[in-house]
């Protein structure tokens, strides 16, 4: 598989350094609230990436952390009047449920920052010992960016911005800061009254680790000092990933990540998501509007990961239609196979080969979706064993994209008018999304029009009153 690399700005072929397992790290969620669909653009694309590697026959080792201590988790746990752990555990659980609903495979290892405080302290100690970090009067410890000549390579900061003399005395204590405040960054934050009970002992006094450090410490623990790939949303390139490289290479040596995979931010209604605009959608918000997580996934993979994706509610309706069309295509193909029940161990994709090639070429998900529709047209002329092979290819490419097709509601009843059918379909979608209120509302509407809906396990039937 070929993939664009942020560091070298080139497309490069991926192959595991150890010759057998592709070992990669994704920066995980900060668990202080529900993840939004922007976060899920990143997590879903990372999931497709992993599925493509595995479909291609590679073994993977996927590590993704949980940020369960930082400025935001502490602030919001206090607002909620909860212990940090209780607060972050609940949001972690919600994140897992959303990931499962979106068909994202769980990472093989999912370490949390709070469970790795000693490892983080060890790393700071190494940095201090080697002259890459210093403590301030209040007991905080900072990374000295002038001590690492490679600083700025990933984000391609130009030398003008890297006027180190200017920045040596300016330090960033916040976990997140902007590009124009290029500065020494905090590794250990001395205890402040607003931290409450959330502090640990260290050689520099009581305090807590800075946000950037946790990924470096967990990567060292679970992947070692040279590994295959590191990933996150584009906002993490600077400063987070730049800081990770600096910490890890200075403390442990090694090459750190051999490849960098960054996903472009999702826009909603043409702009940034924000609570005040009411467009910061979660999976739950969209379910309440009658959309299934699979429809959300379809929209998220509908654009190339390096291109902007503008999320709208209309795009979700489009996804619903596309998934239904795919389900019908798959059913037609299955119908041609009849009772043959051929099982294939073949690794080919048949008419879906072009879709697979798209995925292998810089994870071109929209190209793959287009290729599936073209493949279905091609497959419609196939019969018997050839049709069975095509169906096996279709199922493989759908698995690589993490798509499961919706059930098709059997239309046994005769003479159902189009408007009634449309209402019933809409109601079924709400019901599948467990939006009981909307589903009941439409049932009543149908009853008013003279039609009774009877729900079965696989679908519904309509009976005229």
Query: Which residues form the interface with ligand AMP (CB under 6 A)?
Result: 27, 29-30, 38-39, 41-42, 67, 232-233, 235-236, 263, 265-266
Residue closer to ligand AMP by CB (options 59, 75) is: 75
Closest of 279, 278, 284, 308 to residue 296, by C-alpha: 284
Residue 38 contact partner, candidates ligand AMP, Zn ion, none, CB within 5 to 8 A by sort of partner: ligand AMP
Residue 215 contact partner, candidates ligand AMP, Zn ion, none, CB within 5 to 8 A by sort of partner: Zn ion
Q: Which two tokens stand for residue 379?
A: 């497959």
Q: How far is the CB of 421 from ligand AMP (least distance, A)?
A: 37
| Spatial distance between the Cα atoms of 306 and 364, rounded to a whole number of angstroms | 9
Closest of 249, 242, 113 to residue 177, by C-alpha: 242
Residue 27 as a binder of Zn ion (CB under 5 A): the answer is yes
Residue 218 as a binder of Zn ion (CB under 5 A): the answer is no
| Spatial distance between the Cα atoms of 226 and 367, rounded to a whole number of angstroms | 32
Long-range CB contacts (within 8 A, 24+) of 241-244: 241/154, 241/155, 242/151, 242/152, 242/153, 242/154, 242/155, 242/157, 243/143, 243/185, 243/212, 244/212, 244/215, 244/216, 244/219
Closest of 298, 316, 266 to residue 368, by C-alpha: 298
Q: How far is the CB of 133 from ligand AMP (least distance, A)?
A: 24
Residue 66 as a binder of Zn ion (CB under 5 A): the answer is no
Choosing from 1, 172, 215, 250, the residue that interacts with Zn ion (CB under 5 A) is: 215
User: Element (H or E) spanning 452, and its range?
Assistant: strand 451-455
Residue 29 contact partner, candidates Zn ion, ligand AMP, none, CB within 5 to 8 A by sort of partner: ligand AMP
Residue closer to Zn ion by CB (options 215, 433) is: 215
Q: How far is the CB of 212 from Zn ion (least distance, A)?
A: 7
Closest of 283, 280, 304 to residue 294, by C-alpha: 283
Q: How far is the CB of 157 from ligand AMP (least distance, A)?
A: 19
Residue closer to ligand AMP by CB (options 30, 292) is: 30
Q: Count CB atoms within 10 A of the CB of residue 58.
A: 17
Q: How far is the CB of 43 from ligand AMP (least distance, A)?
A: 7
Residue 273 as a binder of Zn ion (CB under 5 A): the answer is no
| Binding residues for Zn ion (CB under 5 A) | 27, 215
């Amino acid at each position: 598989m070929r993939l664009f690399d942020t560091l070298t700005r080139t497309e490069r072929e991926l192959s595991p350094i150890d010759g057998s397992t592709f070992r990669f790290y994704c920066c995980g969620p900060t668990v202080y609230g529900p993840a939004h669909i922007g976060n899920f653009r990143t997590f879903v694309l990372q999931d497709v990436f992993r599925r493509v590697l595995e479909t291609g026959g590679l073994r993977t080792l996927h590590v993704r952390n949980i940020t369960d201590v930082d400025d935001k988790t502490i602030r919001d746990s206090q607002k909620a009047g909860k212990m940090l752990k209780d607060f972050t555990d609940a949001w972690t659980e919600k994140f897992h449920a959303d990931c499962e609903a979106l068909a994202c495979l769980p990472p093989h290892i999912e370490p949390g920052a709070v469970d790795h405080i000693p490892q983080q302290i060890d790393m700071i100690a190494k940095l201090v010992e080697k002259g890459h970090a210093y403590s301030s009067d209040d007991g905080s410890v900072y990374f000295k960016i002038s001590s690492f000549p490679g600083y700025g390579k990933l984000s391609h900061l130009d030398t003008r911005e890297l006027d180190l003399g200017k920045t040596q005395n300016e330090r960033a204590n916040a976990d997140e800061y902007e590009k124009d405040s290029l500065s020494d960054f905090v590794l250990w934050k001395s205890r402040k009254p607003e931290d409450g009970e959330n502090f640990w002992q260290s050689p520099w006094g009581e305090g807590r680790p800075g946000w950037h450090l946790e990924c470096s410490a967990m990567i060292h623990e679970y992947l070692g000092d040279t590994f295959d790939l590191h990933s996150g949303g584009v906002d993490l390139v600077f400063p987070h990933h730049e800081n990770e490289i600096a910490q890890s290479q200075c403390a442990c040596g090694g090459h750190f990540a051999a490849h960098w995979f960054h996903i472009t931010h999702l826009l909603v209604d043409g702009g940034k998501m924000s609570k005040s605009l009411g467009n910061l959608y979660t999976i739950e918000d969209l379910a309440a509007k009658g959309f299934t997580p699979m429809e959300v996934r379809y929209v998220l993979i509908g654009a190339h990961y390096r291109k902007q994706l503008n999320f709208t509610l209309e795009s979700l309706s489009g996804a619903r239609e596309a998934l239904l069309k795919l389900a019908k295509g798959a059913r037609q193909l299955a119908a041609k196979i009849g009772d043959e029940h051929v099982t294939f161990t073949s690794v080919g994709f048949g008419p879906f080969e072009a879709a697979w090639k798209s995925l292998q070429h810089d994870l071109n998900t929209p190209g793959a979706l287009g290729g599936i529709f073209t493949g279905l047209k091609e497959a419609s002329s196939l019969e018997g064993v050839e049709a069975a092979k095509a169906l096996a290819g279709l199922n493989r490419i759908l698995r690589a994209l993490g798509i499961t097709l919706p059930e098709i509601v059997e239309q046994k009843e005769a003479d159902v008018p189009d408007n009634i059918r449309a209402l019933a379909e809409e109601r079924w979608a709400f019901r599948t999304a467990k939006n009981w209120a909307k589903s009941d509302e439409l049932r009543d509407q149908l009853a008013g029009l003279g039609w009774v809906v009877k729900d079965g396990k696989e679908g519904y039937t309509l009976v005229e009153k």
